[in-house]
């Protein structure tokens, strides 16, 4: 993914460069700044002494020394003074200048902390909005992987006005696995409780038993015109309600029609891109994917993506919910109300919100895998 949000310690991130939220002296301080200097060792401080400090909104680069990163990019964020003193412009400049330095030094990956959101007092929801906006602008025209590193998930705050209806949507639609099992077991107990009891004093007559014939599980064939038909083993019922639409491989009702996939995920994806009039690069950018992964999909008619990748391309193509289910089905998946990730994705699709970066903000805040 070109842009991901990750909970981690930035000093442990393996990237070509990490960004330090420094002060104007560049000689170390508290928070992220102190942690990076401590992990990098004395060599970092000695090099920083030669740089002559750094103005707010600007950035300077040094070696990484004892850090896993090759470089450290030092940038000075603004102190929050109410929002009317040019803080947003300065914060945006921090991200732009840091990304520019990373690209100029041949970096293919860079990791940021949430600049100014600590002791400098920049409101966290506003800081996140600026960070995500500047990063996604940059990666649109530059091949670079960017990670926004959040040390504490509690510090990741989305503005209260954003997606206000999401919580009620989740409350109405999300049925956890525990709730689903409780409901099922409760129904079984209820059924047992209302069975008529035998008369007192007389032995209960045993009903004639007849061995119930097991209905054989039907196998599904994931077919492809060039590769032939490959049998897929049936899964258990629990799996059907989870991540896999190898769910479509087992039929538990006589009236349910046989499900056969007659077009691969790759072929349907490429067809949809043509129908939408998109270029390949536009599609994989909107899917928060990269050229290498997209090349694999284009070159392999039988490519089997992860569920998150399949969902990401459905978002990129702005498919409605039925089209999304169809595309996921080609890859062997489905959306389920017993999976929180799926419920969140369904919310965005039903509300026609297709900005994958905004969706990832929400997924991260709910501790779900990002797209």
In this structure, the answer to whether residues 31 and 103 fall within a common structural domain is yes
The residue segments making up the domain with residue 223 are 160-174+216-371
In this structure, the answer to whether residues 78 and 131 fall within a common structural domain is yes
- H/E segment holding residue 150: strand 145-150
In this structure, the answer to whether residues 119 and 167 fall within a common structural domain is no
In this structure, the answer to whether residues 220 and 367 fall within a common structural domain is yes
Other C-beta atoms lying within 10 Å of the C-beta of residue 41: 13
For 55-72, the pLDDT digits (tens) are 999 999 999 999 999 999
Q: Report pLDDT for 167.
A: 86
Q: Are 148 and 135 in contact (CB under 8 A)?
A: yes
For 132-156, the pLDDT digits (tens) are 999 999 999 999 999 999 876 665 6
In this structure, the answer to whether residues 221 and 362 fall within a common structural domain is yes
In this structure, the answer to whether residues 240 and 328 fall within a common structural domain is yes
pLDDT band for position 204 (cuts 50, 70, 90): very low
Which among 190-204, 216-230, 353-367 has the top mean pLDDT? 353-367
| Residue-by-residue DSSP string for 182-248 | HHHHHHHHHHHHTSPPPPTTSPPPPPPP-PPPPPPPPPEEEEETTTEEEEE----HHHHTTTBSGGG
Give the three-class secondary structure for 348: helix
Q: Are 148 and 132 in contact (CB under 8 A)?
A: yes
Number of domains into which the chain is organized: 2
In this structure, the answer to whether residues 239 and 128 fall within a common structural domain is no
Which of 110, 125, 155 represents a domain boundary (last residue)? 155
Give CA separation, 135 vs 1, 52, 74, 94, 370, in Å: 13, 27, 17, 11, 16
Question: Residue 30: inside a domain, yes or no?
Answer: yes
Q: Which residues, including other chains, have CB under 8 Å from residue 196's CB and lie 6 or more apart?
A: none
Question: Residue 209: inside a domain, yes or no?
Answer: no
In this structure, the answer to whether residues 133 and 234 fall within a common structural domain is no
Task: Annotate 86-97 with b (16+ C-beta within 10 A) or e (fewer).
Answer: ebbebbbbbbbb
For helices 291-299 and 265-276, angle between their N-to-C axes, nearest 10 degrees: 110
Cα separation of 339 and 341, whole Å?
Answer: 6
In this structure, the answer to whether residues 252 and 364 fall within a common structural domain is yes
**Percentage of residues of the chain with pLDDT beyond 90:** 63
Q: Report pLDDT for 165.
A: 84
- Among 107, 128, 109, CA closest to 117: 128
For helices 166-173 and 340-350, angle between their N-to-C axes, nearest 10 degrees: 120
In this structure, the answer to whether residues 151 and 16 fall within a common structural domain is yes
> Quick check: pTM over 0.95?
no
For 80-100, the pLDDT digits (tens) are 999 999 999 999 999 999 999
In this structure, the answer to whether residues 103 and 168 fall within a common structural domain is no
Question: Residue 142: inside a domain, yes or no?
Answer: yes
């Amino acid at each position: 993914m070109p842009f991901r949000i990750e909970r981690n310690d930035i000093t442990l991130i393996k990237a070509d460069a990490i960004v330090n939220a420094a002060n104007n002296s560049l000689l170390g301080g508290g928070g992220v700044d102190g942690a990076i200097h401590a992990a990098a060792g004395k060599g970092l401080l000695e090099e920083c002494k030669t740089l002559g400090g750094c103005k707010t909104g600007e950035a300077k680069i040094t070696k990484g020394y004892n850090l896993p990163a090759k470089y450290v990019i030092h940038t000075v964020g603004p102190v929050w003074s109410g929002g009317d003193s040019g803080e947003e412009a300065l914060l945006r400049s921090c991200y732009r200048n840091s990304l520019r330095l990373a690209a100029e030094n041949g970096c293919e990956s860079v990791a940021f902390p949430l600049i100014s959101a600590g002791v400098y007092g920049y409101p966290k929801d506003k800081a996140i909005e600026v960070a995500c906006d500047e990063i996604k602008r940059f990666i649109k025209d530059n091949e670079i992987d960017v990670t926004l590193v959040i040390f504490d998930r509690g510090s990741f705050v989305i503005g209260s006005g954003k997606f206000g209806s999401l919580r009620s949507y989740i409350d109405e639609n999300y049925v956890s696995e525990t709730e689903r099992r409780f409901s099922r077991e409760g129904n079984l107990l209820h059924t047992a409780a209302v069975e008529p009891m035998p008369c007192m004093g007389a032995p209960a007559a045993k009903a004639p038993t007849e061995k119930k014939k097991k209905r054989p599980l039907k196998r599904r064939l994931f077919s492809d015109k060039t590769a032939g038909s490959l049998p897929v083993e049936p899964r258990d019922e629990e799996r059907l309600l989870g991540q896999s639409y190898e769910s479509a491989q087992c039929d538990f009702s006589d009236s349910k029609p046989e499900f056969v996939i007659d077009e691969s995920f790759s072929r349907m994806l490429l067809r949809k891109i043509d129908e939408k009039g998109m270029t390949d690069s536009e599609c994989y950018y909107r899917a928060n994917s990269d050229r290498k992964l997209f090349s694999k999909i284009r070159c392999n008619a039988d490519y089997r993506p992860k569920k998150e990748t399949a969902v990401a391309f459905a978002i990129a193509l702005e498919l409605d919910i039925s089209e999304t289910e169809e595309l996921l089905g080609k890859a062997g998946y489905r959306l389920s109300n017993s999976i929180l990730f799926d419920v969140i994705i369904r919310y965005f699709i039903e509300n026609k919100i297709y900005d994958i970066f905004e969706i990832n903000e929400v997924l991260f805040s709910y501790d779900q895998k990002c797209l």
